[in-house]
Amino acid sequence: MPPIETVTVGARPLTPAELVTVARHDATVVIDPAALARVAETRALVERLADDPEPHYGISTGFGALATTFIAPERRRQLQASLIRSHAAGTGAEVEREVVRSIQLLRLQTLATGRTGVRPVVVETYAALLNAGIAPIVREYGSLGCSGDLAPLSHIALAAMGEGEVRDAEGHLRPAADVLDEAGIVPLVLEEKEGLALINGTDGMLGMLLLALHDLDVLLTTADVAAALSIESQLGTDAVFAADLMALRPQLGQADSAANLRAFLADSPVVASHRDPAVCTRVQDAYSLRCSPQVHGAARDTIDHARTIAVRELSAAVDNPVITPDGRVESNGNFHGAPVAYVLDFLAIAVADVASISERRTDRALDRTRSHGLPPFLADEVGVDSGLMIAQYAAAGIVSELKRLAVPASVDSIPSSAMQEDHVSMGWSAARKLRRGVDGLARVLAIEVITGCRALDLRAPLQPGPATGAVRDLLRTVVAGPGPDRFVSPDLETATDLVLSGAIAAAAVAAASTSSEIHATSEATP
């Protein structure tokens, strides 16, 4: 797919690919003119209600537990500014720039629907911040995932007001007022309803879900590649992945992963070398080899379900109160993050299990009693060298951490706002731990790729198949092959970069002799 250079907001819901390209690659954002017209029309209704002596929540009242408190017109600007300042209460480490940009874009999309009641200038200011590369400082902790991702969104709104700190386009930490001034952006002075409109949304958890789905599309194909390397180098069979066997259990993800394994193992001299029952007397491979498509496939199905939820959420206009198309101002609970929180937790389970089976395949390759002829730990001089022993320790440590991260956040709830907000989603927490999980999975797969490629080298003069051979050759451009012990950590980091970039998956897909069989989890796969 050609790179996306410009993303139009307001004409239709954003696509996942558009979000990723704005968040990670700084694509330019433009606002659909018809969307601005809708925004102006809705704003006119809000201003009429603001003049009404009857209170209207979020327009002429306080918020949350103070929803029944009427606010006089001359105090409403102060009310909006106070809302943002008080709710910008995040603490902890800075959130990653790509996450901040995804939140900015998603809130912009909601503002452009015309359902929130803000002025057109608010929409234009949010687009200008994105296009200037200005990333407000958002902190790790502060959101309960209900009433929206309040604290993260408040930090972004605070920057639009010219307050707080931001990272400029060069990544320097500076006062927001100075950076906005240099960019020619006039700080917002918020009017009635606008404070709430800027902070009521699932944008933080949704942005992190979409980024994770993009990465997992690549990692699930990479998991199939890593499994093929292990199966081939450990003299496993590809017969168990036959299409007719997969059809006996019509699970879609399983069938796709099995098709990938068939393609990645096709035409392998190593696999062919032990097809004869007289040569290989093993009846069955271990589960971690034989059941790879079942585990990887279940993860693929989980990703597909999560993507369905994410795409629905991309079509949402989350605010409270919301202005309906027929002009009503209605309170609602659409800001509750449960739908997104559940799939974030579901993905964390899948990530942990895919990493777990990968680590088991790595461990088998290093154990001389189970590796079918490979030296202990794939060491060069047994007894003097340790080979990849501690690389497996690293994988095991990561998998243990991923299992802890798989404990769902969405089953927890701590009441807040004087018991007005008495059940919350914890979706932000679910998203934060999934990001750590995705990184851990990439590292575990990188260790399996290094192990599988070294094991294949040690099978010489037998040669790997076209797909696995291409991966081995790519890895060898940056990571040396078998030999005496050396500093291992740089190799793990370099291989992880290849995994996360999609280069490992792309090399296998391009070289597979039956590339038409390759099944990606989405169009984002390399």
Q: Virtual CA dihedral for 196, 197, 199, 204, nearest 10 degrees?
A: 160
Say how far apart CA 504 and CA 441 lie, in whole Å: 14
Quickly count helices (H) and strands (E) in the chain. Answer: 20, 9
- Mean pLDDT confidence for 350-362: 98
Query: Cβ contacts of residue 299 below 8 Å, gap of 6+?
Result: 216, 220, 223, 253, 350, 351, 353, 354
Lowest mean pLDDT among 120-124, 205-209, 388-392, 419-423: 419-423
- Pairing type for strands 6-9 and 28-31 reads parallel
- Confidence band for 70, pLDDT divided at 50, 70 and 90: confident
- State the alpha helices, DSSP H only, in 371-425: 389-405
- Mean pLDDT confidence for 395-411: 97
pLDDT at 181 over 90: yes
- Mean pLDDT confidence for 213-239: 97
What pLDDT, on the 0 to 100 scale, is given for residue 280?
Answer: 64
pLDDT at 514 over 80: no
**Environment class of 139 (CB within 10 Å of its CB; exposed 0-12, middle 13-18, buried 19+):** middle
Specify the pTM. Answer: 0.94
Domains and CATH numbers, the chain: 6-201 (1.10.275.10), 209-517 (1.20.200.10)
Q: Are 238 and 257 in contact (CB under 8 A)?
A: no
**Which tens digits make up the pLDDT trace of 141-175?**
999 988 789 999 999 999 999 999 999 999 999 99
- Mean pLDDT confidence for 103-123: 97
Strands (E), 66-143: 91-94, 135-136, 139-141
Please name the helix (run of DSSP H) or strand (run of DSSP E) that holds residue 30, with its range, or none. strand 28-31
DSSP character string of 330-390: E---TT--HHHHHHHHHHHHHHHHHHHHHHHHHHHHH-TTTTTSPPGGG-SSBTTB-TTHH
**Which tens digits make up the pLDDT trace of 299-314?**
999 999 999 999 999 9
For the chain, give the percent of residues with pLDDT over 70. Answer: 95
pLDDT at 296 over 60: yes
Residue carrying the six token digits 């068939």 = 262
- Confidence band for 366, pLDDT divided at 50, 70 and 90: very high
Q: Enumerate the β-bridge partners of residue 202.
A: none
pLDDT at 68 over 80: no
Point out the residues that are catalytic: 57
Length of the chain: 526
Which carries the bigger pLDDT value, residue 453 or residue 62? 453
pLDDT at 526 over 50: no
**Residue 117 is encoded by which pair of tokens?**
């009641």
- Confidence band for 523, pLDDT divided at 50, 70 and 90: very low
Cα-based distances in Å from 419 to 144, 291, 303, 330: 14, 48, 35, 21
For the chain, give the percent of residues with pLDDT over 90. Answer: 81
Please provide the average confidence, as pLDDT, over all residues in the chain.
Answer: 93
- Confidence band for 421, pLDDT divided at 50, 70 and 90: confident
Please report, as a single letter, which amino acid is at residue 414: I
